[in-house]
Amino acid sequence: MTSLNRRDFLRRAALGALAFPRLGKTAPAGFQALEKASGKKPNVLFILADDMRPDCIGALGNPHIQTPHLDELVGRGMAFTRTYVQGANSGAVCTPSRTMLLTGRSVFHFSNGGFAKPDKGSAVLWADAMKAGGYETFHLGKKGNSFLPGMQAFETCLFTGEIGADDHEVSSQKSADRVLAFLRGRKQDKPFFIYLAPPVPHDPRVAPKEFMDRYDPAKIPLPPSYLPVHPFDNGEMTVRDECLAPWPRTEAVIRRHLADDYACITCFDHHIGRIVEQLKASGQFANTLIIFAADNGLSLGDHGLMGKQNLYEFGGLHVPLVIAGPGVPHGTSSAFAYLFDIYPTVCELTGTPVPPEVESKSLAGVITGKAQKVRDYAFTAYRQCQRAVRDERWKVIRYPLVNKTQLFDLEKDPHELNNLAEQPEYAAKLKEMLALLAAQQHFYGDEAPLTVPNPQPAQWTPPPGGVKSPRQKRKNKK
């Protein structure tokens, strides 16, 4: 979008002349429901966890983690159980993920952590869209590995480092304290849009003792896909996150990581509860949309991996997403969603015009029951080394740099334990899924090749003596 177009958009939006450009001249059903329910625009509280698996909310089927406040959110709202980050061209998956959220642009169409050439002028930032829609905007989150202009567009833009919340042990508490101060101190004439994104449960996985004490590693089951070592070179075997545990990943080490992760999430949940309590005390709860999601998923022993640099279902790009509040019925949706669908979804649910430059899709129709889905497949990408696509049942993951392919029947094998790609009876299905993968690449503008001239051997063994973690390297330098 040119600057003239952008100015024009904001002016027209402010004047109310841009009446729901995606949906004709009437307000969308979600907004009509909200208007009916509340008589005014809802507040928006968007909470973005940093590195959180989709199976780390108790109410979504994990009996080993304590998340009472997120459970309450699930209990009254809608959970999207197939939500993915579209892709990342960097091991710091946070960066492209957050850039997509803050711009509504695909990872294949922006330069900041994306795959494409610069086109900074073409995005309308989420904060600007919400401001134009009449919102007071407040951001509190980590500064690194995100998209600075997207954060600085919020009227109040605070970084966790400025309030002592980069210290992971107290990050949840201090971030919640600052949100509470904002809620108590603000004028009430505009609805608020809060974007809360502290660096939790991201490693180092530490929480106050009262939360760490709640989990006994010995009682936490290993992931169904636990392996000591990933069976082949996926192109990213010694990236930062993979060095957080030595090879082979022992059962005891994985249980410890899971316990620490769960403790950090329970601590975050506790402080989310404090914010919800304040909304209730101030009478704003009934008119506040609360959205909970994470910027990326995480492997914690699954397939022998520790990080978010892979495309397994329980791995890098599959994230939790729960939306609750006025106009949102209780339910679960298995519609394929991208994390950056949240931007147009929130716009539509709040009667805020969706800028035409936004490339993701609103889930409001799914929420209000008017649609079952917004896309037929989930396509995901990681750097040049991994590509995947899944439909309702089948999934293919392609590793072009080592000429390796995996085919999974997710209906029978949800944890991706049984690779069918080399079994002759699945040759036709494999061919079909690889064609779909190529078609999805073309659709999204992804130019990475699925085959390369001289692929490397797929075999991989851990480096002798391991690889030092970033923290160990820093320690040794001192």
Long-range contacts of 371-374 (CB under 8 A, 24+ apart): 371/335, 372/335, 373/335, 373/336, 374/335, 374/336, 374/337, 374/341
Query: Closer to Ca ion at the Cβ: 84 or 135?
Result: 84
Find out whether 138 and 151 touch, Cβ atoms under 8 Å: no
Query: Closer to Ca ion at the Cβ: 245 or 354?
Result: 245
Residue from 73, 74, 94, 397 binding Ca ion (CB under 5 A): 94
Find out whether 168 and 206 touch, Cβ atoms under 8 Å: yes
Query: Closer to Ca ion at the Cβ: 126 or 460?
Result: 126
Residue from 43, 225, 234, 296 binding Ca ion (CB under 5 A): 296
Distance in Å, CB of 412 to Ca ion, minimum: 31
Give the whole-angstrom CA distance, residue 438 versus residue 29. 36
Contact window for Ca ion (CB under 5 A) among 102-110, 259-267, 296-304, 438-446: 296-304
Distance in Å, CB of 50 to Ca ion, minimum: 4
Query: Closer to Ca ion at the Cβ: 51 or 357?
Result: 51
Going across the sheet that includes 404-409, the strands are 87-88, 378-382, 386-390, 394-399, 404-409
Name which of 315, 446, 299, 436 is nearest 384 in CA terms. 446
Name which of 363, 93, 44 is nearest 191 in CA terms. 44
Query: Closer to Ca ion at the Cβ: 94 or 349?
Result: 94
Query: Closer to Ca ion at the Cβ: 316 or 462?
Result: 316
Query: Closer to Ca ion at the Cβ: 319 or 347?
Result: 319
Give the whole-angstrom CA distance, residue 343 versus residue 402. 36
Query: Closer to Ca ion at the Cβ: 141 or 462?
Result: 141
* Residue nearest to Ca ion as judged by C-beta position: 94
Contact window for Ca ion (CB under 5 A) among 37-45, 104-112, 185-193, 291-299: 291-299
Find out whether 83 and 380 touch, Cβ atoms under 8 Å: no
Distance in Å, CB of 441 to Ca ion, minimum: 24
Q: Omega into 248 within 30° of 0, i.e. cis?
A: yes
Contact window for Ca ion (CB under 5 A) among 122-130, 288-296, 297-305, 416-424: 288-296
Distance in Å, CB of 104 to Ca ion, minimum: 19
Instruction: Give the CB-side neighbour count of residue 322, counting CA atoms within 13 A.
Output: 25
Contact window for Ca ion (CB under 5 A) among 6-14, 220-228, 290-298, 373-381: 290-298
Query: Closer to Ca ion at the Cβ: 140 or 354?
Result: 140
Contact window for Ca ion (CB under 5 A) among 25-33, 87-95, 285-293, 368-376: 87-95
Distance in Å, CB of 97 to Ca ion, minimum: 7
Distance in Å, CB of 316 to Ca ion, minimum: 10
Distance in Å, CB of 93 to Ca ion, minimum: 6
């009682």: which residue's tokens? 219
Contact window for Ca ion (CB under 5 A) among 2-10, 86-94, 315-323, 444-452: 86-94
Instruction: Output the furthest CA–CA distance in the chain (Å, rounded).
Output: 67
Residue from 295, 302, 348, 416 binding Ca ion (CB under 5 A): 295
Query: Closer to Ca ion at the Cβ: 257 or 404?
Result: 257
Regarding 261 and contact with Ca ion (CB under 5 A), the answer is no
Interface size with Ca ion, residues (CB under 5 A): 5
Give the whole-angstrom CA distance, residue 187 versus residue 410. 50
Distances (CA, A) of 32 to 16, 115, 356: 16, 38, 21
Give the whole-angstrom CA distance, residue 2 versus residue 221. 53
Q: Which two tokens stand for residue 47?
A: 């909470």
Distance in Å, CB of 100 to Ca ion, minimum: 13
Name which of 90, 43, 97, 84 is nearest 311 in CA terms. 84
Q: Which residues have a Cβ under 8 Å from the Cβ of 474 and sit 6 or more positions away?
A: none
CA 239 to chain centre: 20
Residues within window 34-53 making contact with Ca ion, judged by CB under 5 A:
50-51
Regarding 88 and contact with Ca ion (CB under 5 A), the answer is no
For residue 378, what are the β-bridge partners? Answer: 390
Regarding 146 and contact with Ca ion (CB under 5 A), the answer is no
Give the whole-angstrom CA distance, residue 401 versus residue 386. 8
Distance in Å, CB of 112 to Ca ion, minimum: 15
Contact window for Ca ion (CB under 5 A) among 68-76, 265-273, 289-297, 449-457: 289-297
Query: Closer to Ca ion at the Cβ: 51 or 446?
Result: 51
The residues binding Ca ion (CB under 5 A) are 50-51, 94, 295-296
